[in-house]
Amino acid sequence: MVRRIFLSLLLATWFSVDCNPGPIDDIAVDRYFIPKSCIREVKSGDFVRYHYNGTFTDGKLFDSSYDRGAAFFGQVGQKWQIAGVDKGILGMCVNEHRKITVPPHLAYGSQGAGDKVPPDTTLVFDLVLLDVFNRADQVQTKVISTPKECKRSVMRTDFVRFHFNGTLLDGSAFDSRLVLLSVLVATSKELFLVCLFSSGTEIPAHASLVYHILLEDLHNPKDDIIVEVMKASEPCTRKSVAGDYIRYHYNASFLNGITFDSSYQHNHTYNTYIGMGYMIAGIDKGLQGVCTGERRRIILPPHLAYGQQGAGKDIPGSAVLVFDIHVIDFHGVKDTVQVDITRKSEACNETSEVNDFIQYHYNCSLLDGTLLFTSRDYETPQDVVLGGDKIIDGLDEALRNMCVGERRTVIVPPHLGHGEKGAGIVPGSAVLRFELELVSLQKGVPEGYLFIWLEESPGHLFEALDVNQDQQVPLEEFSQFIKQQVSEGKGRLKPAQDPDSVIIDMFKNQDRNTDGLITQDELKLKVDEDAEKTRHEEL
């Protein structure tokens, strides 16, 4: 102990000795710098750590902790330091500067201290308190800020990710970096020990540590995804199931609100099958049971996202992820066209079918309401011969069995629309919504026919055609006869074409030797030709 006294240059354990009184009877304390904030004041029994310069009253230095590069550490009131300093440090705050003038009888008395301090010497100690603590002290926590919405706080066995700055009690940084850690919270002590040993920097012995912590996220290995419906879709006629193909927009962020990815930035939806392992498990699960147009938030613990490894440079390991999702549409490979009749026609004698020529108005939009096309942009309604492979299959099907004046709302899945590739401004794999109104209807004829009889054909057809009975029928007689049948409602020409052109084609089909005349041997009804052809095929 005596050796320690001299090595530490005279601040260590003091002994009661006879001495002559100095120029003062008690210590004199000059608190020449007092910090604005004082966490606590030194009291007897506390452990303290401080730097000092020891001088004589003439200012001559006889000892300094700065010169040794190590602060003094001891317990107040337990004779770890000379009596004057032990008394003079009471009530001191961390970062406070004091000059303590110690008379000889409270310093080294009449014996002095080796060759450093003569007998009966008054000493001056200039101190700055670095640290103070007591063995009864516990971890102190001060909440600096709490988010407005705190739905869950850290519990035992949770994993947490946090940023921290580490300082000593006097404010000196021992780790000025921002380090992101994942630790298992068991007790507060274990949490701080992990931080301490993760810093990799030198920390003085007997140092109190201050951590400024920003919690990034937390999770538990038992956590499942959390689904919050932000905006429901009404009505919802069908919810997504495993195996559906879905298109959705998303914003992806961490729990602190920082975005790391967004489909809006990519300017297109994310499209994939759900429930089949094509996505991270949490999203794969969270997209089942959604409605078209629904907005929902899915919070994913790391074991249902990118795990301990993270993903690339943007997603750190063990990160909890938040996906804000807007479902644009979804469909199943077996989905059919959905038809909702919004207005019926009061008088309906006939309905549209394959080969009919129709005119109709339409609005075509995505399920989120984005208008793609409308017939109102044109002077006349859209027209088409049904079954002629001129429009997408789903629309062709939806326009059948309609009455003139009828209105329908129709949902067409992409495999009956424009498919995976889309077309023009129609996105790939888009479900389409059509608003339809049938404007006019001309009944058609079967495929391959130019004219059909609506009644029984004349028993002696050639004689009916051969008006002048000269045993030959020119185009003029043929045309006059066919037009008469149509005007009397006995037959029907192929619609959506010039009648004269259709009649000319009919004539050419019968004028088999192309001499401009039809004879009785040449004349054959198509229905008879088809029947004869069938008989030959059967033979």
DSSP H helices in 120-187: none
Gap between the Cα atoms of 205 and 209, Å rounded: 11
Which residues make Cβ contacts (< 8 Å) with residue 150, sequence separation at least 6? none
Beta partners for residue 358, in sequence order: 384, 441
Nearest to 431 by CA among 473, 474, 506, 370: 370
Q: Which residues of 292-315 are buried (b: 16+ CB within 10 A; e: fewer)?
A: bbbbbbbbbbbbbbbbeeebeeeb
pLDDT at site 524: 84
The CA–CA distances, whole Å, from 80 to 10, 47, 289, 524 equal: 11, 10, 72, 130
Token pair, residue 381, equals 């309604």
pLDDT at site 347: 84
Report residue 510: phi and psi, to 5°: -90, -30
Contact assessment for residue 489 and residue 443, using Cβ atoms and an 8 Å cutoff = no
Q: Which amino acid is at 489?
A: G
- Fold type of domain 28-133: Chitinase A; domain 3 (3.10.50)
**Tokens 């984005």 belong to residue:** 370
pLDDT at site 308: 92
DSSP secondary structure string, 225-265?
A: -EEEEEE--SS------TT-EEEEEEEEEETTS-EEEEHHH
Beta strand pairing call for 47-56 and 61-64: antiparallel
- Mean pLDDT, contiguous 10-residue spans, the chain (539 residues): 36 39 77 94 97 97 95 95 96 97 96 94 97 93 86 89 88 68 45 39 84 90 95 91 97 94 95 95 97 96 95 93 97 95 90 96 95 95 94 97 96 96 95 97 91 88 90 93 92 92 94 92 77 53
pLDDT at site 16: 35
Q: Give the relative orientation of helices 475-487 and 499-510 as an angle to the nearest 10 degrees.
A: 130
**Burial class of 41 by CB neighbour count within 10 A (0 to 12, 13 to 18, 19+):** middle
Gap between the Cα atoms of 465 and 85, Å rounded: 138
The CA–CA distances, whole Å, from 537 to 77, 447, 448, 523, 531 equal: 121, 19, 18, 22, 10
**Burial class of 215 by CB neighbour count within 10 A (0 to 12, 13 to 18, 19+):** middle
Contact assessment for residue 183 and residue 160, using Cβ atoms and an 8 Å cutoff = yes
Gap between the Cα atoms of 394 and 513, Å rounded: 44
Written out in words, the top-level CATH class of the domain with range 226-331 is: alpha beta
Beta partners for residue 361, in sequence order: 437
The one-character DSSP state at 352 is: -
Nearest to 185 by CA among 213, 206, 145: 213
pLDDT at site 73: 96
Report residue 43: phi and psi, to 5°: -135, 165
Is the domain defined by 451-538 classed in CATH 2.40.50.100? no
Nearest to 287 by CA among 303, 304, 302, 266: 304
Delimit the domains of the chain by residue range: 28-133, 158-219, 226-331, 338-442, 451-538
Contact assessment for residue 272 and residue 286, using Cβ atoms and an 8 Å cutoff = no
Counting runs of H as helices and runs of E as strands, what totals does the chain give?
Answer: 11, 24
Written out in words, the top-level CATH class of the domain with range 338-442 is: alpha beta
Beta strand pairing call for 97-102 and 173-175: unpaired
Full-model pTM: 0.72
Contact assessment for residue 309 and residue 317, using Cβ atoms and an 8 Å cutoff = yes
Beta strand pairing call for 61-64 and 97-102: unpaired
Q: Is 392 helix (H, G, I), strand (E, B) or coil?
A: coil
Which residues make Cβ contacts (< 8 Å) with residue 262, sequence separation at least 6? 250, 251, 252
Same fold, 28-133 and 451-538: no
